[in-house]
Amino acid sequence: MAAPGLITKFTNCCLLRDHQIIRDDLWVKDGKIIDPMELFYRHKKVYDQVVDCEDALIAPGYIDLQINGGFGCDFSHDIENTEECVSKVAKGILPHGVTSFCPTLVTSGPDVYRKVIPRIKKRPGGEDGATVLGVHCEGPFISPEKKGAHCLSSIKDIDEDSSQALQLIQMYGCLSNIVIVTLAPELPNALNMIEFLAKENIVVSLGHSNANIDISIKGVEKGATFITHLFNAMSAFHHRDPGIVGLLASHYKNVFFGLIADGIHTHPAALRIAHRTHSDGTVVVTDALSALGLPDGIHYLGSKSVEVKNGCAYLAGSDTLCGSITNFAECIRIFKQSTGCSTVEALEAGTLHPAQVLKIENQKGTLNFEADADLIFLNQDLQVLQTWIDGKCVYKRSS
C-alpha cells in the first residue's frame, strides 16, 4: 500500500461504475476508493501523486469463486504443501487480473479436508498475491450419477441421525475458512443441511446434481443462492422438467450461477441462453486445474490423473472433461464474444456478481466510494495491462 494518508489520483481513464463506463478520475487513499468532493470541500485537500492511465479502462479486480489450482499446484492433491500452493496460485493469477479468489477443493476424504482446510486461511492480497476469500468445498455431498471428474469413493451421504454441525466438523475439520459448499439438493437430508449452512453464513451452491426443478426450488427456499458450473455435471434441461437450469427463469432473482466460459465446457449458444435469461445472475468462473499456465501433459485433480491435450483437460484415459486451463481474463473475453453482451455486462460477471454471491459487494467488485482499491487496467480488447490491490500496483504488463 502507498504511504499512509497519501492520496493518489488516477487520471486519463474511463471507469466502470454504477453499471456504466464513464470518463472520470479515480481517487484512492489508504487502500480505499474515496470521494474527491469530500476531500476538496470537507478536508481541503488535493492529491499527492498522479497516475496517468494512458486511456485505459479501470474496472474492479476480477473475483474467481472456483479455481482448483494452477501452475502445477492442485489444492486437493498437494496436501503436504498447502500454503505454498495457495501462495503460488495467488501470485500466478495477478497477470490475469484476479485480485481475489476462492481456492476450491474437489470431493475428497475427511483426511484431506481436515488437513487442508485449516491451512487455507482468509488473507488480504498484495504484492505476494491475490486475496484469499475462503475455501469453496465442491463436495463431498454430491450425486454419484453426476460426479463428473470427482472420486466416487469419496462421495458421502448426509446422515439423518447426526446433527449437521457434527457431520460438517467430522468431514471438514472446521468451518471458519469455508465460504462456499457445493452439494446436490436431492440427496436425503440435503435440504436440512442447506438450511444449516445458510444460517452459518456459508454460501450453498447447487451442483453435481440430478435434481429436478421442484427439489431445486426447495433448495433455494432453504437458502441456496448459487449454482456450480451451470450445465455441467447436472441433469439436462427438459421442457417438462428443466432441472436446476430452470432456476434461471424462476422468480428467485437472488440466485447466481457460475459459467465456465472457456470455449470448451459450455457452448456459446448455452452461454447466450443463460445470460439472456438471467443476466444479473451471471458469474464467470475458471474451474481452473493445476495445468493452468502449463503445457500439455499429465497433471492432477485431487486423487485423479488429468491429461491435457490440445488445450483440453480430460480424466486420463477417458473423454470426461475435468476442469479448465483457461485463465480468467480470457474467460471474460470469450464470454463477451460468445454472448454478444456489453463490456459492462461481461466485466460485472467477473467482478460485481461474484462479490454479491459472497455478500462483499460493499468492499469488492465495485469502484464505489469506500470500496477496496482492487483495480485492473484494461485496453479496448479487455487485455489486462495492470493489476492493483489495496491501492498498490502488483502487476504491470511489459510493453
One-letter identity of residue 12: N
Is 233 known to sit in a ligand binding site? Answer: yes
Backbone dihedral angles phi then psi of residue 281, each to the nearest 5 degrees: -100, 0
Backbone angles phi, psi at 349, to 5 degrees: -70, -20
Length in residues, the chain: 399
Q: Which of 64, 78, 262, 287 is catalytic?
A: 287
240 is in an annotated binding site: yes
**Is the CB of residue 46 less than 8 Å from the CB of residue 7?**
yes
> Nearest 5°: CA angle at 177, between 119 and 387?
85
For residue 321, say whether it is annotated as part of any ligand binding site.
yes
Q: What SS3 class is residue 397?
A: coil
In the residue annotation, 287 being an active-site residue is answered as: yes
In contact, 117 and 384? CB cutoff 8 Å: no
| Residue 312: strand pairing partners | 309
Q: Residue 151, annotated ligand binder?
A: no
Residues 270 and 243: beta-carbon distance below 8 Å: no
Radius of gyration, alpha carbons of the chain:
21
Q: What angle do CA 91, 92, 95 make, to 5 degrees?
A: 100
CB proximity list for 346: less than 8 A, separation 6 or greater: 332, 333, 335, 336, 339, 382
Q: What is the rounded end-to-end Cα distance, in angstroms, of the chain? A: 24
- Which 8-state DSSP code applies to residue 227? E
Question: 73 - beta bridge partners?
Answer: 70
Cα–Cα nearest to 298, from 78, 103, 80, 72: 72
278 known ligand binder: no
Residue 229 assigned to a binding site = yes
Largest CA distance in the chain: 67
Where in the sequence numbering do the catalytic residues fall? 287
Residues annotated in a binding site for substrate? 149, 232-233, 240, 265, 321-323
Residues annotated in a binding site for Zn(2+)? 138, 208, 229
Residues annotated in a binding site? 138, 149, 208, 229, 232-233, 240, 265, 321-323
